[in-house]
Structure 1
Amino acid sequence: MSQQKSFDLNLFRIFTAVYRTSSFSRAAEELDLTQSSVSNAITRLKLAVGEELFIRVGRGVKPTASAMNLYQQLASPVSEIEQVASSFELFDAKRSERTFYVYASESAILLLQGIVEQFLEELSINLVFREPPLIEEELQMDLQLEKVDLALDIWLPESSSFKSQKVMQDKLVCVARKGHPRISGAITQEQYFNEKHIIFKMRRDNLSVADLLTKQVLPARKMHSEQSSILSMMALASKSDALAIVSKSYTDEYAQLFGLQVFELPFAAEPIEYYMVWSHKLQQNRANIWLRDLLNQAITRRTQA
């Protein structure tokens, strides 16, 4: 039997998993194999191609030039095969008792949780929203390993390993408590920078949301406090003279409750754009398609409301 006829094509699938995850152990987790099986497969492939494929670096592996060249040739066809295989998986929402996991920002959870629960009332399916990890690479890895089914975030992936869809848009506004001694009705740029500020710290990039989305470099602001929760920011603003920048969707829900004035920003800012992100290999997966459709319906109902 020739080498071509006896070649195990599954080696390519294992190779692409190791390449994407930079780890034998994470590839094994993704493929539901043992780490030794993955290591043996890479050894077999190395012997077949006659080139070293990976170099150990710390706890992971780094691809060689030969591996990079091989991956460029294999990534697309292997991904298409995985999509076809995934599409064969049966899914019936009326009979399923599956739990889906979705990484979502605080804002996305606020906007969609109640509506999603209404859609699932007559089903045995459960959907659990989770805040995304602090490190973006961990988010991507969890999507690849299918620890979560998709993500709703302002992050847009560049890798071809993921598919994405823009699903929502929001904007930033400024809030101050009603009865503020110096600000009422509107706010100028001078007033804005003369006050103390409650800063919302992004979970990634070590930036404030204003610095991330504004079209200009902002002057240094006097800090009142730093928060990672928008609701906490609004509560603090209601009990102090400090200003806060929050999304309009939050002020629509909570400005009256917290007794806050809402102002347009006194400087230009980009809109907040939310994306639905999922693993490319789940593009044709019936359960994942159903989940994406469910969330799109929830987003549509939220927008109409």
Structure 2
Amino acid sequence: MDSNIDLNLLKVFVVVYRHKSITLAAEEMGLTQPGVSGLLKRLQQQVGSQLFIRSGRGITPTQHAKELIRHVEPALAQINNALEGLEGFSIQYPRKFVIYASEPVMLMLLPKLEADCNLGNITIELQPTHSNQEALIQALNQHQADLAIELSNYSARSFFIEELFEDKIRLIARKGHPRIEDTITRKQFYAEKHITLKLRREDSHMADYFTEESISERKVAAECTSLVSLMSMVATSDCIAMVTESIATAFADKLNIQMLDCPFTSKPVKYRLLTHNRERRSAANMWLREKIKSYF
């Protein structure tokens, strides 16, 4: 094995390993496919071992590649973080961060971002989080986003989790509802028609997921995956629904809806920041996490 390996070859190797595709790696690095193939071939010659083999339409890492990535990726992350620390992270230099978030978090976060006069030349773009955890983790592994704001308490050695804020669920009904005002009993809860919110990731309804008691079958008038649709329908009907308190508070006056305590024992709604361990000590990612935490 050549002891004078070009670090740029190792960077190419890491990107190809993440994508399991020379085409996708070339797109990320702004290179041509032949260019990436050539650099990968040079690295394989220097390490004296084949790193990838063809598998269907893609490529599969060999055992040697799996061993190499285990040592190389964290080492490159440390080098990048050290260089970033020397140069210093500054909001004066243009940079875009991407954050995966659910609809409720987007509704809360976007006004705070727009009102923040201290972002300098930094752009923070919100994108919808993935509908399943595997796709989310793969996207973070592939640098498609800088961090995610999650309800799930994902646990893995390669990821870092920080608590962000805690919310709770509230019941909502339109103001001037013919039967409900200020409070609601369990009997009234089951007597009314409901707009339910389906949580895509957990494949369950919000009311079932965030209450201690098992909720019996309700009279469902409509089922939504969008919080905005749910609140709009509650505002224009006699149906009731459950949403998080922060969202209910933000839209209560605008939509002329009333908030009520849930007639069940609710569980806390905990939001967390999720980022890859390679970004944990990055000055830029640390700034981003602190900025998001400051809003809550």
Q: TM-score, structure 2 length as denominator?
A: 0.78
Give the secondary-structure state (helix, strand or coil) at the position aligned to 1:127. Answer: strand
Q: Take 1:38 and 1:128, find their aligned partners in 2: how far apart are those partners?
A: 29
Q: CA deviation at 1:247?
A: 0.4
Q: Determine if the alignment matches structure 1 residue 27 to structure 2 residue 25.
A: yes
Alpha-carbon contact 1:101-1:128 (below 8 Å) kept? yes
Q: CA deviation at 1:149?
A: 3.3
- 1:75-94 correspondence runs (5 A): 75-93=73-91
Q: Take 2:183 and 2:251, find their aligned partners in 1: how far apart are those partners?
A: 19
Give the secondary-structure state (helix, strand or coil) at the position aligned to 1:120. Answer: coil
Aligned residue pair count? 296
Alpha-carbon contact 1:196-1:243 (below 8 Å) kept? yes
Q: Take 1:287 and 1:100, find their aligned partners in 2: how far apart are those partners?
A: 9
Matched letter for residue 245 of structure 2: K
Q: Determine if the alignment matches structure 1 residue 234 to structure 2 residue 255.
A: no
Match of 1:223 among 220, 224, 232: 220
Q: Take 2:75 and 2:169, find their aligned partners in 1: how far apart are those partners?
A: 42
Q: CA deviation at 1:242?
A: 1.7
- C-alpha distance 31-217 of structure 1, shift in aligned 2 (>3 A): farther
Q: CA deviation at 1:244?
A: 0.8
- 1:262-277 correspondence runs (5 A): 262-277=259-274
Match of 1:208 among 200, 205, 209: 205
Alpha-carbon contact 1:116-1:295 (below 8 Å) kept? no
Matched letter for residue 168 of structure 1: F
Q: CA deviation at 1:200?
A: 1.6
Give the secondary-structure state (helix, strand or coil) at the position aligned to 1:250. Answer: helix
Specify the alignment match of 1:302 in structure 2: none
Matched letter for residue 102 of structure 2: S
- 1:80-159 correspondence runs (5 A): 80-93=78-91, 95-120=92-117, 123-159=120-156
Q: Take 1:240 and 1:185, find their aligned partners in 2: how far apart are those partners?
A: 17
Specify the alignment match of 1:167 in structure 2: 164
What 5-or-longer segments of structure 2 have no aligned partner? none
Specify the alignment match of 1:5 in structure 2: 3
- C-alpha distance 225-150 of structure 1, shift in aligned 2 (>3 A): same
Specify the alignment match of 1:286 in structure 2: 283
Q: Determine if the alignment matches structure 1 residue 250 to structure 2 residue 256.
A: no
Q: Determine if the alignment matches structure 1 residue 259 to structure 2 residue 256.
A: yes
Q: CA deviation at 1:175?
A: 1.4
Alpha-carbon contact 1:175-1:261 (below 8 Å) kept? yes
- C-alpha distance 147-9 of structure 1, shift in aligned 2 (>3 A): closer
What 5-or-longer segments of structure 1 have no aligned partner? 300-305
What per-residue deviation string (whole Å, max 9, x for no partner) do you get for residues 163-211 of structure 1? 3321111111111233444444433334433432212223434433334
What per-residue deviation string (whole Å, max 9, x for no partner) do you get for residues 214-273 of structure 1? 445544433211223323212211222222110001222222443333233333343222
Percent identity, aligned pairs only, is 33
Specify the alignment match of 2:293 in structure 1: 296
Matched letter for residue 234 of structure 1: M
Mean CA deviation greater in 142-151 or 241-250 = 142-151
Alpha-carbon contact 2:74-2:278 (below 8 Å) kept? no
- C-alpha distance 214-77 of structure 1, shift in aligned 2 (>3 A): farther
Specify the alignment match of 2:196 in structure 1: 199
- C-alpha distance 275-284 of structure 1, shift in aligned 2 (>3 A): same
Mean CA deviation greater in 231-240 or 256-265 = 256-265
Q: CA deviation at 1:291?
A: 2.6
What per-residue deviation string (whole Å, max 9, x for no partner) do you get for residues 64-83 of structure 1? 55544444444443433343
Q: TM-score, structure 1 length as denominator?
A: 0.76
Alpha-carbon contact 2:161-2:273 (below 8 Å) kept? yes
